[in-house]
Amino acid sequence: MAANYIESMANRTVERPASGESRARQLAARLPSLTYVLAAGLLLASIALPYWNMTLLAPQYPGGLYVRVFVNRMTGDDDPVLDEVREIDNLNHYIGMRPLAEAAQFERSIAVPALLLLAGLLVVAAFWRRRWGWLLVVPPLLFPIVFLADMAYWLNNFGQNLDPYAPFSSAIQPFTPPILGEGLVGQFRTIAALDTGWFLATAGSLLILAGLVTTLVQARRGHPGRGAA
Amino acid sequence: MKTHVSRFSLALTVIAVIVTAFFTSTLRPGSGATAQGPDWQTIAQQRGLTEEDLRAAAMTYTPSGMLDEFILFASGGQSGQVLVIGVPSMRLLRTIAVFTPEPWQGYGYGAMEEVLAGGNIGDQQALWGDSHHPALSETGGLYDGQWLFINDKANGRIAVIDLRDFETKQIVKNPLFLNDHGGAFVTPNTEYVIEGGQYAMPLGGAYAPISDYESAYRGLVTFWAFDRQTGRIDPSRSFALELPPYWQDLCDAGKLVSEGWIFCNSFNTELATGGIEKGNPPFEAGASRGTTDFLHIINLKAAEQVFQSGQTVEINGMQVIPLDVAVQNNLLYFTPEPRSPHGVDVAPQGDFIVISGKLDPHVSIYSWARIQAAIAAGPAETDAYGVPILALEDVLEAQVEVGLGPLHTQFDDQGYAYTSLFLDTAVARWSMGAEGYRPQDGWTLQGTIPVQYNIGHLVVAGGDTIAPDGRYLVALNKWSVDRFNNLGPLLPQNFQLIDISQPGSQMQLLYDMPITAAEPHYSQIIRADRLNAWEVYPEVGWDPITQSVDPNAVAPGTEGITRDGNHVTVRMTAVRSHFNPEHVEIQAGDHVTWTITSLERARDATHGFAIPYYGINLSLEPGETVTFEFEATQPGVFSYYCTEFCSALHLEMAGYMLVQPQ
């Protein structure tokens, strides 16, 4: 019943191919729905995975320190004893950096509902194939870039706004930690890298892109009535 | 010859590494520079090192970051401490404060005072101990790496050390006896910690003139029940056994076939009472007149039943099985042993007991099977106190002439036994001629290796367990004479590491380690992988005495000072690099209760905390909570500070306690 309804919704915009058309065209017509749903799944799965991580190496921390950033939280590694985020905060207070928990508080608070919304948009776009329906997939498509841009903003914001009265303020000037690759803060070498959650979201974006391109190409080829609908 | 060459080349490689490390650190500190200067052969030649020296270096040299395969626990003698040493590097890794207050560990200077107070003798504080024999806890006759016990000969006390944090948790004072020697030894599953006595005396601190020695003075062995759940000795389940006034010496617990039995030796069965100033023979002569003393054979399982059935008398709160009850219940047997022995050591399979009379050149090997048969047959005679005596010829399995002044015996994994020779200042290796050891070699001396000098105890890795690890032996030498640079008339002891991995007479001296913290007696060596210590305390707010989170621990944000009458409570946190609060304003006459919680979680991020004048110095290991109390008697300004260089802002980790005059 529901399937028929969705089918009929879909048929409003993309006509069922004529019986003479090739199977490839049939497949292409269904591809966007498939990729959008898959992308929604990837996006939802990425909530549970880290998007970005940083390793801090210093002579007196032979095992290094490690922080993982998820869309809604930050953790260290799985060390049951050492809270690495707190340890990093503890070290950061010497250079006057604010506690990491103060970064991106708003973004982290809305991250989970926002990703649910983005996934919802993808599902709607999969089956609601109106003329401007493709616009729905643009926000989820751009999410990985938006995440990185926000990361970069906060890294810069934290690095540049050091407490001028901090103990090491004369030795360590405000700086911008690199969002990817190596940096140096005091005796710490930092290595920032993208993590599995971000890669999942990006794989989702590539799927969305494939679906989107398919839709647009189809629209351009031979569905003359659509522009006037 | 082939293995000889490869061994040599290994040694050369190690020397090359030493040279590399040396030049790396001296010429280019902190850099990864390669070795410069003369090559290793030249250096070896210049320093006069032989091929044997290079082999010893290869076996012991431990480059930075390499960990030791074994850990040695040594008593700290008169320092009242325990020393923890890595083997084969022979590096001192840790000192554990036990019977003596020790500021670095914050032991007895505001913290851990209740542990020390457990060893008080009535109202008398005992501020030092003569720690003698460490005993690692055992499960199934093997070291389990969980607990360490040690006795204080001077004051008749036993301490319990928790090997999760290597700190002393309990000291119990024997209420019956002034001193002890035959402790600490554990039963194969650590049900009991054995504490043998030493110098006979009236039990329970009573007075009796020395002329009443035979009637009023007594010997003693105490069985302290250990509760693994609480990690404490439970005095209410512990009991003692009254013994004739022979000077009981070392003990050992039976194992496997002899499990449930205890063996203690003795000297002065002559009942000498000394009095050189009165023209009597001195103890050293009077206590050595007889040709034999008595090995005590104690049925602990049966004694436990007698204790539980209530056939005891209570003295100073301790249940004691009287000597006559022990005899009636067949708890105690004697058999002659070469006079003035100093060691009684049960072989790995529990089937033989080895005793060395230090004035006799033999080790005497007693057979457990023969002892059981002799007990079953019924002993023919008794001593003056009615204790049955098993005839020596019925129980002796073998004697091996090993040399002069044999003291203690340990065992290895190849069926050899090792006996320290005090007078010969050597270690004798002899083969155990029985099935399961080296029946092919018989009971024979295999060889001796000189040690420098005057060896007391010796220790083989796992050498008193049911499955010795062997490979390494450490000789605990009393004298070092010429082994180290002359730094005045008080000389260090000398721990010598010996390679015993090769069979027959082959043994090689590898390393000399000076011990400058008093005179260690006995040691035990455990495989490092059997230890499982915490890296930091499991949770913030940890109380090391209860080994749980202190409900009174200070959470960040709850710091502060509160007053109730003249009782001030200070609640403080410590984290790199500040204490909070930094001002503690109180009034003279206040009673202060001060709690500090370290919020640190990073390994090795330890803080100290000192209040000068008030005698406070703490060690705050990551996560630890300490509470101390004092009367603020002295008005003035007292800066408190972190005594452990914790961070770059360590000197700034300070505050002021302002004690306003009334």
Would an 8 Å CB–CB cutoff place A223 in contact with chain B? no
CA–CA separation, B58 vs B14, rounded Å? 5
Joined together, the tokens standing for residue B300 give: 């602990």
Amino acid at B261: W
CA–CA separation, A16 vs A12, rounded Å? 9
Residue of B67, B542, B601, B603 for testing the chain A interface, max A β-carbons within 10 Å: B601
Enumerate the residues of chain A whose CB falls inside 8 A of the CB of residue B649: 94, 167
Q: Which residue has the tokens 């049955």?
A: B388
| Complex-level ipTM beyond the 0.90 threshold | no
A167/B535 CB distance under 8 A: no
The arithmetic mean of pLDDT across residues B296-302, rounded, is 98
Would an 8 Å CB–CB cutoff place A58 in contact with chain B? no
Would an 8 Å CB–CB cutoff place B387 in contact with chain A? no
Joined together, the tokens standing for residue A134 give: 């493709």
- Alpha-carbon distance B536 to nearest alpha carbon in chain A (angstroms): 8
What pLDDT is stored for residue B510 in this prediction?
98
DSSP result, B120-157: -BTTB------B---EEEEETTEEEEEEEEEEETTTTE
- Alpha-carbon distance B544 to nearest alpha carbon in chain A (angstroms): 16
Selection from B246, B225, B243 nearest residue B234 by Cα: B225
**Do A190 and A182 touch, CB atoms closer than 8 A?**
yes
Q: B62-119, pLDDT tens digit by residue? A: 999 999 999 999 999 999 999 999 999 999 999 999 999 999 999 999 999 999 999 9
Enumerate the residues of chain A whose CB falls inside 8 A of the CB of residue B601: 81-83, 86-87
- Tell me the pLDDT band of B4, cut-offs 50, 70 and 90: very low
**Do A185 and A175 touch, CB atoms closer than 8 A?**
yes
Beta bridge partners of A65: A56
**Do B614 and B539 touch, CB atoms closer than 8 A?**
no
Q: B412-465, pLDDT tens digit by residue? A: 999 999 999 999 999 999 999 999 999 999 999 999 999 999 999 999 999 999
CA–CA separation, B281 vs A117, rounded Å? 100
Q: What is the DSSP letter of B48?
A: T
CA dihedral B117, B122, B126, B131 (to 10 degrees): -90
The arithmetic mean of pLDDT across residues B47-75, rounded, is 97
Query: Of the candidates A82, A94, A167, which has its C-beta nearest B602's C-beta?
Result: A82
CA–CA separation, B148 vs B211, rounded Å? 40
- Tell me the pLDDT band of B1, cut-offs 50, 70 and 90: very low
B575/A90 CB distance under 8 A: yes
Selection from A37, A121, A119, A123 nearest residue A71 by Cα: A119
Q: A115-133, pLDDT tens digit by residue? A: 999 999 999 998 887 778 8
